[in-house]
Amino acid sequence: MSNPDTRSAAPARTGVRTLRHELPVTLGVIAAAGALIAVFSGDSFTLNILATAFLFAGLATAWNIIGGLGGQFSLGHSVFFAIGAFTVANIYLKLQISPWLAIVPAAVFSALLGALISWPVFRLRGPFFAIATMAMTEVLLSLSLYFDTFTGGSRGISIPFRLGVQNMIFRDRMSYALLMLGFLAICLLVMAAVTRSRLGYALQAVRDNEDAALAAGIDVLRTKLTGMAISAALTGVGGVLYMMYVRVADPPTLFSLFDIGVKIALIALIGGIGTVYGPLLGALLIVPLENYLRAELGGSVPGANLIVLGVVLMLTALFLRHGVMGALRAGALRLFGARA
Amino acid sequence: MAEFLNILAIGLLLGGIYALVSVGLNLIFGVIRVVNFAQGEFVMLGMYGAFAAQTALRLDPYLAPVLVVPALFLLGCAVYWVLLRPLQGEPMMQVFATFGLLMVLENSVLAVTRGVSFSVGSVLSDTTIAIGPVQMPLARIIVLAAATVVAAGLGWWLRATMPGKAIRAVAQDRKAARLMGIPVERMYMVTFGVGAALAGLAGCLLSPLYSMSPQIGMNFIMPAFAVVVLGGLGSVRGAYVGGFIVGLTEALAGFYLDPALKHAVLFMVFIAVLIIRPSGLFGVAGAEEVGLREQS
């Protein structure tokens, strides 16, 4: 973090890609996602799916900051998601403050909690880190069911339907799709900025070899904690938007291991772990697929959507370790030869 | 005093359940270094196996292991060969793969049973045994006894027999074991099969105690991870003792604090141990690292 020699040397090297190189691509991808909304603007069914897909794309992008770049495979991001949801519910219902303003405290709480609980857990590596984050989910789920003044306990929290922009409650699906697009855009921009920053390179160094990163003068713990705090903050914001989108949620839903914690990791994995745009691709594949399966088979074969997701997860782990983005890149390399 | 003894008994009997469920997980963990998230689903399959054996053949759940244990051994071998063998040295992909397996097994059972919960009865179901002021259901005492026998038997098997020695050799040093002529891949497969078979045994013996649902595997896997980490990776004795620690913690926290908080306390203890002594109480120090280091 504080090595002046390398800092001055970095821009002189031509090979290092900075945010300036990345930004046009990022904006182009966001515009393309916006074009999707424009194409389906009359179709509220598809807009609903797009809204969910963009929300999960944003969440998976946020996960990717610590999970992909940093290599810390958290299965407990539902904790930050739930913190965001409870924060907005309490601020909006008890203090009558607009949900828009709740975004800031939600992000701050999530970031603080992310750093606080990760601080001890970051001593663990690989699968042990994943198990500990799962256990953390269990702890916070039990606590949130117990302290029900903030969470509504097992009854959950419901937010009354009071139409209005200031309440973040809309009648048309279009507005929600645009809201989630905004969230996705922020996540993508943050991810692009982090990837091309000193922090991003430090995270990747930690992921690839923690001991070597330490020897190279990287403050490993601080790098991981910063990555986790950013990732958690964005996930908390996602929780805010989700709460205002569905307006009814209970702790088991928000802390769900399958529907939140594992699913966002799965989306990032399928899209391409560590890539900037992979999670968006993964969400655009998985969310519509799951919606389709639930609608087609949900009634006749309960759990069919999760069976398919499980199979997809196993196949991806076996054959598509670098996700769709990785496969595309490998294909492009084979077609056009190595890029300069 | 009687109250305290009762809670102690509840904790110990619960510990027996956790110990029985964890022995197989720890074997897989310790030898192959695979974190098997689907282990709870093997227990679940064991329970449904006992139910199927009772419905189809009128078999008492305590006799069901005759059929269920070999079936799960074969399933375990197949899972290892197809899913985990190609993923050696990829710990995170193993997590995803076994998690995918968990989702498939759980929801396949859900799809087949359509969410109807079953229960099996045994001739022994309603028997209780009184020791002083403490009443204990016989079914739970059987689980405790089985956990003790399995832990002792598995310990002896690993110590004294040739396959057991081969498994320990593979766990200690894969390369040296291969040079000694041990078929490493086959030992891994057998180990995973034995681990799954033990889960199946646990499922049969637990089936009279629980009403079955496809999601029940999740109730076992998290405490089982806690047991394995507390007791020590790859230590059979550790899994046995760890089971009682977890069982007693859960019973005491449930009674003296609040039943709603027992899992919070349990997992906080778990996380604390994970951080302070990652190799567990009976584990070899550094064992948790070896699995993550590239073994070539």
Over residues B6-28, the pLDDT tens digits come to 888 888 888 888 888 888 888 88
Q: What is the pLDDT of residue A4?
A: 45
Pick A307's closest partner by Cβ from B35, B108, B271. Answer: B108
Can you give the pLDDT at residue A280?
93
User: Would you place residue A10 in the very low, low, confident or very high pLDDT band (cuts 50, 70, 90)?
Assistant: very low
Higher pLDDT, A9 or A337: A337
What is the token pair recorded at A175? 């507005």
Q: How many structural domains compose chain A? A: 1
Q: What is the mean pLDDT of residues B106-117?
A: 86
B 9-68 residues inside an 8 A Cβ radius of A? 35
CB contact under 8 A, B274 and A269: no
Inter-chain contact A136–B271, Cβ cutoff 8 Å? yes
**Mean per-residue pLDDT, A225-253:** 92
pLDDT of residue A189: 93
Residue A87 has what pLDDT?
93
pLDDT at A301: 79
Least confident of A22-36, A37-51, A192-206, B233-247: B233-247
pLDDT at B288 over 60: no
| Assigned domain for A143 exists | yes
Within an 8 Å CB–CB cutoff, is residue B113 touching chain A?
Answer: no
Q: Is the pLDDT of residue B78 over 90?
A: yes
Nearest CA in chain A to B229: A128
Distance from B194 to chain A by nearest Cα, in Å?
22
Helix (H, G, I), strand (E, B) or coil at B135: strand
Residue A277 lies in a domain: no
Mean pLDDT comparison of A57-66, B3-12, B265-274, highest-scoring range:
A57-66
At residue A338 the predicted structure's pLDDT band, cuts being 50, 70 and 90, is low
Across the interface, do B96 and A312 touch by the CB < 8 Å criterion?
Answer: no
Name every chain B residue with its beta carbon within 8 A of the beta carbon of A265. 96
Task: Specify the 3-state DSSP secondary structure of A157.
Answer: strand
CA–CA separation, A272 vs A326, rounded Å?
A: 6
pLDDT over 60 at A2, yes or no: no
pLDDT at position A14: 58
pLDDT > 70? residue B108: yes
> Which range, A156-170, A174-188, B138-152, B234-248, has the best average confidence (pLDDT)?
A174-188
Helix (H, G, I), strand (E, B) or coil at A68: helix
A117-121, A229-233, A254-258, B97-101: which is most confident? A229-233
Asked if residue A153 has pLDDT above 90, the reply is no
Q: What integer pLDDT is reported at residue A126 of this predicted model?
A: 74
ipTM over 0.90: no
Q: Is residue A145 part of a domain?
A: yes
pLDDT tens readout for residues B39-68: 999 999 999 999 988 888 888 888 888 899
How would residue B296 be classed by pLDDT, with cut points 50, 70 and 90? Answer: very low
Distances (CA, A) of A281 to A15, A29, A156, A287, B202: 27, 10, 32, 10, 42
Query: Which of B 237-256 lie inside 8 A of A, CB atoms?
Result: none
Question: How far is Cα B296 from Cα A72, in angstroms, rounded to an integer?
Answer: 24
Mean pLDDT, chain A, rounded, equals 86
Residue in A123, A130, A311 nearest the CB of B100: A311
Say yes or no for a CB contact (<8 Å) between B86 and A318: yes
Cβ-contact A313, B99 below 8 angstroms: yes
Nearest residue in B to A313, CA atom: B100
Residue B225 near chain A (CB below 8 Å): yes
Taking the C-alpha atoms of residue A101 and residue A118, their distance in angstroms, rounded to an integer, is 27
Chain mean pLDDT for chain B: 83
Q: Do B104 and A304 make contact, defined as CB atoms within 8 angstroms?
A: no
Task: Give me the total of CB pairs closer than 8 Å, taking one residue from chain A and one from chain B.
Answer: 139
Q: If contacts are CB pairs under 8 Å, which of residues 32-61 in chain A contact chain B?
A: none
CA distance A270 to A318: 11
Share of chain B above pLDDT 70, in %: 94
The alpha-helical segments, DSSP class H, found in B33-122 are 39-57, 65-79, 91-113
Mean predicted confidence (pLDDT) in A205-226: 90
B81/A contact by beta carbon, under 8 A: no
> Does residue B131 sit at the A interface (CB-CB below 8 Å)?
no
Q: A320 in contact with B at a CB cutoff of 8 Å?
A: no
**What residues of B are in contact with residue A257 (Cβ under 8 Å)?**
218
We find that the CATH architecture of domain B2-290 is: Orthogonal Bundle (1.10)
In this structure, the strands spanning B128-131 and A248-249 are unpaired
Residues from chain B that touch A121, judged by Cβ atoms under 8 A, are 271, 274-275
Retrieve residue A52's tokens: 């969910």
Per-residue pLDDT, B284 = 57
Task: Indicate whether A12 belongs to any domain.
Answer: no
pLDDT number for residue B90: 80
Q: Do B274 and A124 touch (CB under 8 A)?
A: yes
Q: Among A140-144, B206-210, B273-277, which stretch is predicted with the lowest mean pLDDT? A: B273-277
Single-letter residue type at A50: L
- Within 8 A of A301 by CB-CB distance, chain B residues are 111
Average pLDDT over residues A202-209: 90
pLDDT band at A5 (very low <50, low <70, confident <90, very high): very low
- Paired tokens of A36: 């999707």
Domain membership flag for residue A3: no
> Is residue A11 in a domain?
no
State the residue range of the domain holding A241: 20-256
Distance CA B177, CA B183 (A): 8
| Cα separation values, A2 from A5, A8, A139, B123, B167, Å | 9, 11, 37, 72, 49
Please check the confidence at residue B183 and state whether its pLDDT lies above 60: yes
Q: Return the domain boundaries, chain B.
A: 2-290
Helix (H) / strand (E) element for B254: namely helix B236-256
So what's the pLDDT on residue B249? 87
Beta pairing partners, B136? B129
